[in-house]
Each structure stands twice: as C-alpha cells, then as structure tokens.
Structure 1
C-alpha cells in the first residue's frame, strides 16, 4: 500500500497543501516547527482515527477554522481509493470513501499506517494512557470494527461516570440508583470485547516484538508484553498490582470487580473498573521497562513495538504492506540504531521519513526529497 497524493485544508498550520508521494522512500526535510510532522500526522489519522501527539481532535484544526480536511489517494496494487476525513472542532467527524459518505470507523479498512515518532518513548516511559492509545490504534487497524466498539464504550463510560458523580453530589446510595445496573450491563458487554481483543493483540505481538527488539538492540533481552487489568483486582491506573485476565470468564470477572468497587465508585464519583483503567506491561530481562530500562533500551523497546506492529499488519493484511512513517526519529538515535532501523524498514512498499537535518537519514532511505518551510511545500526532486 502507498499514499499517492495527499491534500490538506485547514489542517494544523496548513491552509492548503497538496503533495505527491512515490513508492519506496520519500524524505520530507525542514527545520523544526515548519509542518513536517503535520503531514505525517494527517496520513496516520486516516488509518488510526487518532493523533500520535494529542488525544483530542480540536488541536488539528487550524486556528480560525471550524474544520480540517484530509484527503488522500491510496494505491493497493492496481486498485486506487480516495479517502476523506472532515475533522470538526465540535461535533462528530465526517468521512467519505470514493466520494460516498461512510462512518468514520470505516476508514481503517482502506488505510494502514505505522508511524514512528519521538513521542513513542512515552509508550514505554509514560502513563498507562499512552500504552492504551498505542494498543487501541493498532487494534483499530487490525480489526476496524473495534473503532465502533471503543467509541461506544467511551460513550457508556461517560454516561455511567456522570451518574456516579451526580449520585455523589446528591448523597444517593446504591439502592437509589436502579439505572446503574443498566449501565453496568452495557459497560461489561463492550468492555469485555475490548479487553479480550487487547489480550489477543498482545499475544500476537509477542513473537514479532522479540524478533524486532533483537534486531534493533543487537541483544536478546527476552522482551515480554502482557496486560494488567482492573477486572483482575487492583487498579493499574493507580499503580496497584493486578493479575492478568484470562480471555475466558472476562465478563464474570468484570461484573465481580464492579461489585467489589461499587462503594468506592459511589464515594469517588468515578468508574474504577474497565479497560480504561488497564495498563500494557512491557518487560525486558523480567523487569518492567518503565523505571528499570536505560534510555537506549527504552528506545529499542519503543522501536520494536512499532516494527512488530508493522510486521503484524503486513502478515494480516490483504492491502499489502502498511505505509511506514519515520517522523524525526533519526535525530533521537545513535548511529548503530539508525543503521539497524533503516535496514529493517527499507523493504516496505513505501517509507515516508521526516527530518530536520538531511544528513541524519541513512542513505538507504533518501528517496524522493521534498522541502517544507512554514507550512509551504517548497520543492521536490528525485535524489
């Protein structure tokens, strides 16, 4: 799969932008803050329905505009498809495929992208929300219908939490909240599907993660990847230890955990159980990466997660290779990791690289070069 043409309107710092890409390596060069990452973010959004930099959509809409538009023509062998997303500051986004309106959740069926960025270090060193976002964005690409499940879960979670906050403010007890059971049923049904899908994803990621880490780090540190779930006791979001849920019996464990936390939820006005409280646990040498791994090891794990994601999508997809985007990562890596990463991604159908300094990019990834300055595409030439 390749992106052949990208068009932006009122996206980040671009009032208007049009850019053509070619198969193989494409290099976007420009000083920091000129808009290189915005182009990468726009392409990735079509596949993941989210940003790798922010959790909300509004920051992607240019100041003074009400909506941003991202349009792309993708090539799948001899087939071509046009995708469009209208990102609204307020209200629901809108999408089109081939000019026909579709639900936004349909877009990942046509676009698959794996994006490497400096922010990836937060996946291994940041709070649990960073790891959940990584997993869910990959999950949506692998199983596009999960975009709807996750959106429905978030909606139910907000409604249930609003009820708990209202009960707390009014001093109501459980017996006075018969509707809470209704929200519990919906939360369990949707949350169980998310938990089980995440567990399968972690299991499938493990073999390519081990291989990718060894290739990047040049060492075998036995990387591990598992989920700590709130339905198994404890609260990963608050740093409490918990078990790892089994796929069978997840719904029953979810209901039991809700019952056990009911008093605390009413007291705090917060939903304390569910996939929104879970954490993806990453280890090397049987120790958590967060808090124990060196800077270089942390980078190796982050890169290995993205490489494993690309390999998983490549193995699963009928669309061909995912589009691989390397956004300003080479400036963060030592020479050895730069060379190793370049070798590992060079055979993908299309690789898009952004860099502030052209010399940071290994020769194998210096293909068609485009220069970006202040939201303007200055020139392009075949190198």
Structure 2
C-alpha cells in the first residue's frame, strides 16, 4: 500500500497543497514550522481519524475557516482508491470513498499507516491515557471494525457515569436503569479487553526482535495489561510487570463468557464506591499498558535512549503485525522528525528495519540527520510551499487527485 497523491485545502497552514509521493523512501525536508509535519499528519489522519499531535480536530482547520479538506489517492497492488475527508467546525465530519459518501470511520478500512513521532515517547513516559490511545489506534489499524465497539463503549461510559452522578443522594430509585447500562458496558468492554489481550500476545515476539535489532542487545522487553476488572476482583496471581509468554497466551485465550462474568463481578464489588463518587470505576477506560525492561518498569527506570528504543520497537512490532495480516499490502511507514532524536547507530538500524516496506515517508529539519545511503525522493517545504526536486520528480508528483 502506498500514497500516490495528497491534496489539502485549508488544512493547518495550507490554503492548498498538492504532494506527489512515490513508492520507496520519500523525504520531506524543511526547517521547523514550515509545514512538513502537517503533511504527514494529514496522511496519518486517514488511518486513525485523529491527529497524533492534538486531541481534537479544531486545530487542523486553518485559522478563520470553517472546514478543512484532505483528499488522498491510495494504491494497493493494481487497485487505486480515492479517499476524502472534510473536517468541520461545529458539525459532523464528512467522508467519501471514490466519490461516494460514507461514514468517516469507513475510510480507515482503505488505508493503513504506522506513524513514528516525538510524541510517541508518552507511550512509555506519559500518563495511562497515552498508552490506551496507542492500544486503541493499534486495534483500529488491525481491525477497522473495532471503531464501532470503541465508539459505543465511550458513549456507554459517558451515559452511565452521568447516571451515577445524577443519582447521588437520591436513593436507589434513581438507579433503576443502571442494569441496562451495565449490560452494555460489559458487552462492549469485553470485546475491547479481549482484542487488547490478543494484540499484546501477538506483539510480544516482534517487540523483542525489533528491540534487540535497534539496541544491539536483548533487554527482555515485555508488555502486559493492568486491568481494572482484575484489580477490583483482586485476582491477579502474577506480577504484571514481568509477564511470561504463557501468561499472555492464557489471557488472550480466556473465553468472552468468562471475562464477561468477571467484569460483572467487578462491577458488583465497586458498586458502592461508584455511587458514592459518581464515576464508572472499572473497564477498559481505566486500564493501563505495563511496559518493562529486564523486569523493571520502563517508566522511571529506563534511560532516554532505552525509552525511545522501546517506543520505536512497539511501533515496528505493530507494523510487522499489520504487514503479515493484511491482504492490501504493507502499511505506510511515517517517520516524523524521529531521526533527530537518535544517534547515528540507531538511525541506521531504524532505517534498515523499515527499508523494505512499500512506502516510507520521512520528515526532517536537517538533511544530515537522515541516513545518506538511501535513494530518497525529496520534497522541500518552505513557508507552506512544496518544491519537489526536479531531478527526482515522477509523473505522480503532478498527477492530481
């Protein structure tokens, strides 16, 4: 899979922009603040329906405008598809596939990308919300249909929490509809928990392999889940910091019925506290991803270089998983200003790890930061103007959407 052409209107700093891209390595070069990251942000948005830089869409719309348009032409083998997204201020976003109106989340079925960016350090050093975001984005990339379960679950949590807050001090009669919300919470939440467990099981081996390749040694990287359901039931029998492969396999193989029963038991155990506090206390929205190196938590114990290598290895493991499972070809690899964060050795190792993907898109402020033994197709960005290197320009660069 690869992006052949990107067209923007009123997106970030671009009144309009046309970017042609080729198979293989593409380099977007320009000083900070010129707009190169805005281009890859738009591309990545088609894969996740959200920015990797900000939490909402408002910042993506050019100042003073009510909407932004992003169009992209994607090729997978001999097939080509035209995708379009319209981001709107104060109203629902719109989408098209090959000129036909669809729900925005349908676009993610047609495009897959894995983005590496400086913001990824929050996966290992930030708050649980950043790690949950990584998990959910990974689930969407692996199973686009998961967007329905994730969206429905978020709505149930909001409605259920609103009920709990409104019922405080009003007696049990105010909670008459709570069992209905419990059923929906368990139904959608169980789907998400099982999908997350399967994801961690399948990421475990490629994570170890990619970390060893990046750092040149085996530091025993491990991933597992802190689950609020298990915490409420006080049923964890092993340390969640150092899970074995057998632990991950066993958790992923638990039946949906068993997990649903455990979920209901956890809800019953925290019922009093939920009513008192007006908060939904258990479920995927309260869970956290546990990351460890050599049996110690990455957060608080790993060095800056180790933290970066762990975050990159997680993304590389995800890219490998998507590549192995997809019938549409490789995910597009986006490296947004990543090489500036790495030493020369890790730069070379990272580039070798992604070199055989069908398309790699790299942004850099300083050309010396990127490996020089790569046949880059360069586009230079200055003050929102795109200038392809004419000696490298292909017909795709002028072929519009």
Q: Name the TM-score, length of structure 1 as normaliser.
A: 0.94
Q: Is 1:285 matched up with 2:273?
A: no
* 1:238 aligned partner: none
Q: Is 1:193 matched up with 2:191?
A: yes
Post-superposition Cα deviations, 1:207-238, rounded to whole Å, max 9, x if no partner, equal 11111000001110111111111111259xxx
* 2:236 aligned partner: none
Contact 1:116 1:306 in 2 (8 A): yes
* 2:132 aligned partner: 132
Q: Secondary structure at the match of 2:363?
A: strand
* 2:95 aligned partner: 95
Cα distance in 1 for partners of 2:67, 2:96 equals 15
Change (3 A) 1:69 1:99: same
* 1:262 aligned partner: 271
Contact 1:230 1:242 in 2 (8 A): no
Cα distance in 2 for partners of 1:356, 1:382 equals 21
* 1:156 aligned partner: 156
Q: Is 1:251 matched up with 2:268?
A: no
* Worse-matched range after superposition: 311-320 or 244-253: 244-253
Cα distance in 2 for partners of 1:131, 1:370 equals 33
Q: Secondary structure at the match of 2:291?
A: strand
Aligned-pair distance for 1:242?
7.6
Aligned with 1:350 (options 355, 359, 369): 359
Cα distance in 2 for partners of 1:382, 1:24 equals 16
* 2:309 aligned partner: 300
Q: Is 1:216 matched up with 2:243?
A: no
Q: Secondary structure at the match of 2:387?
A: strand
Please list every run of 5 or more consecutive structure 1 residues that lacks an aligned counterpart in the other structure. Answer: 236-240
Aligned-pair distance for 1:29?
0.7
Aligned-pair distance for 1:175?
4.2
Contact 1:229 1:242 in 2 (8 A): no
Cα distance in 1 for partners of 2:15, 2:262 equals 50
Cα distance in 2 for partners of 1:89, 1:382 equals 40
Q: What is the Cα-based RMSD across aligned positions, in Å? A: 1.9
Q: Which has the higher contact order (CA 8 A, sep 6+)?
A: 2
Aligned with 1:361 (options 362, 370, 375): 370
Contact 2:69 2:86 in 1 (8 A): yes
Aligned-pair distance for 1:378?
3.3
Q: Secondary structure at the match of 2:389?
A: strand
Post-superposition Cα deviations, 1:65-92, rounded to whole Å, max 9, x if no partner, equal 2222111000111110001111223332
Please list every run of 5 or more consecutive structure 2 residues that lacks an aligned counterpart in the other structure. Answer: 234-238, 242-246, 393-401
Q: Secondary structure at the match of 1:233?
A: helix
Aligned with 1:327 (options 320, 336, 340): 336
Contact 1:8 1:69 in 2 (8 A): yes
Q: How does 1:1-80 map to 2 (within 5 A)?
A: 1-80=1-80
Cα distance in 1 for partners of 2:323, 2:240 equals 33
* 1:179 aligned partner: 177
Contact 1:323 1:351 in 2 (8 A): yes
Post-superposition Cα deviations, 1:112-143, rounded to whole Å, max 9, x if no partner, equal 10111011111111111111111111111111
Q: Secondary structure at the match of 1:363?
A: coil
Cα distance in 1 for partners of 2:319, 2:68 equals 28
Cα distance in 2 for partners of 1:107, 1:17 equals 21
Cα distance in 1 for partners of 2:296, 2:67 equals 45
Aligned with 1:225 (options 220, 223, 226): 223
Aligned-pair distance for 1:271?
1.1
Aligned length: 377
Q: Secondary structure at the match of 1:101?
A: strand
Q: Secondary structure at the match of 1:320?
A: coil
Contact 2:240 2:290 in 1 (8 A): no
* 1:274 aligned partner: 283
Contact 2:140 2:146 in 1 (8 A): yes
Q: Name the TM-score, length of structure 2 as normaliser.
A: 0.90
Post-superposition Cα deviations, 1:284-326, rounded to whole Å, max 9, x if no partner, equal 1011111111111101101101111110011000111110010
Q: Secondary structure at the match of 1:28?
A: strand
